[in-house]
Structure formats: C-alpha cells, structure tokens
Structure 1
C-alpha cells in the first residue's frame, strides 16, 4: 500500500468520523435525559466503589455536603485534569465539611487504578449500566457526561453544573459552595 493511498484513506476516515460525531452529539445529549430539579431531593443511588468498601449510597452522606461529579472516562486528559483539580482542592472541601464523589461508567478496577495513578483520596463509583447517570440527566449512550451536582446535608440538590471546564471547575464548585453555605447560616 502506498503512503499516498494510506494518507488519503486516513483523511477520509477522519472526515467521516467528524461528520458522524456531529450527527451523534445532539442525539447523545438527548439521551442524557432531564436534569434533576434544584431544591428537590437528589436522586438516590447505590453503586460499587473502588475503595473496597463495597457499595456507596447517597444516604451514606446524610448530614454532609456532597459534590457528586460525573465524568466520561478514567485516564483521559480532561477527566484526569478534573480529578487532579478536585484532589488539589480537597483540603478546601474538607474545610467546608464537603465530600467529593466521582461517577463514571468505568469498572471498579479501572477506578482503583486511576485513583492509585493520580493519588486520588476520594471515592469513584462504577455506574457501569448508566442508571445513576441517567437519573441525573448525565448519560451519553455509553459514557457519563461531564456534569456536577452539589447536594446539601438533607439530600436536597442545590446546584447543577453542565458546562464544565475541567481546568476551572473545582474553583467554580467551591465558589458556589461558599455561596450556598453562607446562605444557610
């Protein structure tokens, strides 16, 4: 096979993939479903975790603030950056008496490797069938969408983030957490 033939075919495949992706994105976003309503009880969940603790449920966080963040895939650049930022800011979340929990469709083994690789000290939950992601309007066919939610100590959803920039997201969540906690006092 000639180099020119190979490059032409590679270009055709790339263009086809881009066109296909452009058609799939709106459909995939529609699969995400309806986001849960602010100031209403957060959808409940129970999922396996990488920590060896078996399963983790929303009820485990009763009496605590919770940042529940959904992300597409372990070890990808944006997801790694987002997780690193949450880990970097973990002491600030702890000062706010707030727990962080990540959710994706990856397996608990993948999550364990990702946490070990990145030094993450918060749990990642395996939503392998997407049921919890769907309940939070955060499902894109085979991946969780990059969405985050702040849930108060009574289990009420207080904030939703759908336009997430992995670089600035943790700061954005902390700012909203400050505002919400100040309003509660």
Structure 2
C-alpha cells in the first residue's frame, strides 16, 4: 500500500463514528460542581419547640408600688415576738412627730395599712377609733401607719372623723423594720407594697404579739383583747 493510501486510510478511520465513540470514552470527565443538598423540612414538633424557645417569658421582676428601683429586701425581714421593738421617728397628722420613746412605759398598738381612704383601710381605722376609749382604759396607745404623705393622712382623718394618730412613712424605713413591707400579688402582677400587719408592743418595749395578713373584720376587737390581757 502506498504512503498516500495509508494516510487516507488512517484519516478515515479516525474520523469514523466508531473512532469518535472510542475517543469519547478515553476523554477525562469534566469536573462538575457538587450538587446542593436540600435541607429536610423541619418537623412540626421542632418548629413548635423553636417557637416556644424564642417566646419564652422573661422572669418576673418585682415592681414597687412606689419606685421600680426599690430593693426587694424588706420581705426577708421577720419581726419576732419577744425582741425589742425597732425605734422610729416619723411625721404624723397635725404637724408633729411620733417616736417610740413617746410611749415608753405604755403598751402600744401599731397597725400598718396599705393606703389611706381605701375600703379595707377605712373600716380598720374606723374600728380602732371606735375602740379608742377601751384601749386607753387598757393603758394602750394606738397608731396607724402607711406610706401616704401627711396631707393624705389628714384628709383621711377629717373625712372619716378618725380619733387616732396617723403616721406617714414615705421612705418605708419603719415599714421594713416591722416586716410590714414586702412582696404582694394582685391580678397576676407581682410587686412590693405594704402588708397589712399589726404589732402590739408591751410596756417593756418588746414585741408582745404580731398579726400578719390581717383580715379587717373583727381585728380591732382581737387586738384590744390581747392588749387587755397583757
């Protein structure tokens, strides 16, 4: 076979469909981008859990009825019977001051009420006024204490013809010392405020009896009975 014939034969062989198919097989595979993996759809339970976590309620913070910055320490203090009554010096209705030393050698009732001229506090103050003479005969003085300013106490006194001194403790110092300031809750809201409390101090200056979470009806009579037997 001549050189020209061999060359043509070689050329036709390489251009044949069979040759092209063989060449395609030996050709290196083109690099392909890795296929993107799809995330499996989150199950209903996992979606619910994630939503619950993102909407988890923050812990409740105590709110003072007077100031949000008030420390929540008063509720920890517990006044016990037999200990010396904490001293106090506070303004009272009429422009004077009331101190523990004013009642040295006498029995003293201190009733702490949440707010002047509210229904429960009004009934309580009226009951103690009604029994004022009986307390005096038992050698016992009576003071009402709240965080209301003096002017509010005076309006309260005049409106209901109260015959007992009303003390103003706007700084809560006495309230805290006697354990009458602490955590309260109402309508699902937690806050700091005055806990309706009554303390009977003996003539020796020591705490004789403490009433906590006071129920107004009949309370003044119970306190009178305790003071009379002391």
- TM-score, normalised to structure 2, is 0.63
Cα deviations by residue, 1:36-94 (Å, 9 ceiling, x for unpaired): 221111011111001222x2110110011100110100010000000010011111101
The match for 1:150 is: 200
1:171 corresponds to 2:221: yes
Which structure has more RCO (C-alpha within 8 Å, separation ≥ 6)? 1
Q: Which has the higher helix share?
A: 1
The match for 2:158 among 96, 104, 116 is 116
State the alpha-carbon separation in 1 of the partners of residues 108 and 102 from structure 2.
10
- 1:84 and 1:69 map into 2 onto residues whose CA distance is 12
Equivalent residue for 2:76?
A: 33
1:92-131 aligned within 5 A: 92-131=134-173
For structure 2, the 5+ residue unaligned runs are: 1-60, 64-71, 183-190
Q: Which runs of 4+ in 1 moved over 6 A?
A: none
Larger radius of gyration: 2
Q: Aligned to 1:51, what secondary structure does the other structure show?
A: helix
Shift of 1:163: 3.0
Would the aligned equivalents of 2:195 and 2:213 in 1 still touch at CA under 8 Å? no
The residue matched to 2:94 in structure 1 has which SS?
coil
> Equivalent of 1:135, from 167, 177, 185?
177
For residues 114-162 of structure 1, give each alpha carbon's deviation from its aligned partner in whole angstroms, at most 9, with x where no partner exists: 0111111111111101111000111136532110000012211100000
Structure 2 equivalent of residue 4 of structure 1: none
CA distance in 1, matches of 2:205, 2:150: 25
Q: Is 1:58–2:100 an aligned residue pair? A: yes
Aligned partner of residue 122 in structure 1, secondary structure: coil
SS, match of residue 32 in structure 1: helix
Structure 1 gap segments, 5+ residues each = 1-22, 181-185
Q: Distance in 2 between matches of 1:51 and 1:153?
A: 26
RMSD of the alignment, in Å?
A: 2.2
- Residue 183 (structure 1) aligns with: none
Match of 2:53 in 1: none
Say how many residue pairs are matched.
156
1:74–1:111 CA contact under 8 A, matched in 2: yes
